[in-house]
Amino acid sequence: MTEHYNQKRKRKAEFIKPINTLKAKVGSGGLSEDILNRAQALLENNTVDFLPLAEIYLAALMKGIEMAKEADASADKEYIISSMLYPGMQLKANGGMFHYPLVTKIADKLIQFLEVIDEADIEVIEIVLAFHTTMRAVVLGRIKGSGGTHGANLIQALHDACMRYFEKNKGNIGKMIIAEE
């Protein structure tokens, strides 16, 4: 049996192995545990106030919610979802960097929810609003760290709301899952 039915290949890929100048410059040996510990300590002890940043992203999320509320049938569904997804991603990314891991956990749940819905219907908007309210309460209440049992309960309540939505609206998630596969 011959490859490609004896036909000449039409598309060729060229493989290039660039010279590793980076390795030549930095040498070997990695970094010591001491340096890594110092870098980690610097990160953990940063004194950045997350509140102003969080307010920007929460305002952007609210703008996305308002846009979703006002959207008519001709609106671009993906654009509407993205307008809530991107601020959610920023909250997830930055919360944990600036001592608010609970915001990161909640925002991660929000992202996972928005990534699998097909359109932002009224029930979706209500759920996203609940995420917004919860994250705002965490930030304004200066709840740093995991939030303990209360934090876990908040996440569970939001998770349950999403699950109830999926149970009720099976049609609004199927297309996305098929697209992923």
Partner 1 sequence: MTYEFYKIKVLVVEDNKPMLDLTKSILQTFGVVEVIAAKDGEEGFREYCLHNPDIVIADWMMKPMDGISLTRRIRNDPKSPSQYTPVILMTGFSEKRRVLEARDAGVTEFLVKPFNARDLYRRIAQVIERPRQFVRSEDFFGPDRRRHKNEEKPYTGPERREGGRRAPPPPVTEIDFADRPQQDEDWQ
- Rounded CA-CA distance 37/117 in Å is 41
The neighbour count for residue 54, using CB atoms within 10 Å, is: 22
Asked if 5 touches partner 1 (CB under 8 A), the answer is no
Asked if 9 touches partner 1 (CB under 8 A), the answer is no
Asked if 14 touches partner 1 (CB under 8 A), the answer is yes
What is the residue type of 163? Answer: M
Phi-psi region of 136 (alpha: psi -120 to 50; beta: other; left: phi over 0): alpha
- Smallest distance from the beta carbon of 91 to partner 1, in angstroms? 8
CA distances from 164 to 124, 147, 150, 160 (A): 11, 24, 21, 6
From the list 55, 115, 126, 160, which residue makes contact with partner 1 (rule: CB under 8 A)?
A: 115
If you search the block for the tokens 């671009």, which residue do you land on? 76
Asked if 78 touches partner 1 (CB under 8 A), the answer is no
Name the one range near partner 1 by CB under 8 A: 21-29, 71-79, 142-150, 156-164. Answer: 21-29
DSSP 8-state symbol, 158: H
Kindly report the CA angle at 115 between 108 and 168, in degrees rounded to 5?
Answer: 100
Binding mask 37-76 for partner 1 (x = CB under 8 A): -xxx-xx--x-x----x-----------------------
Name the one range near partner 1 by CB under 8 A: 66-74, 85-93, 121-129, 132-140. Answer: 85-93
Residues that bind partner 1 (CB under 8 A): 11-18, 20-23, 25-32, 35-36, 38-40, 42-43, 46, 48, 53, 86, 89-98, 101, 104, 107, 111, 115, 180
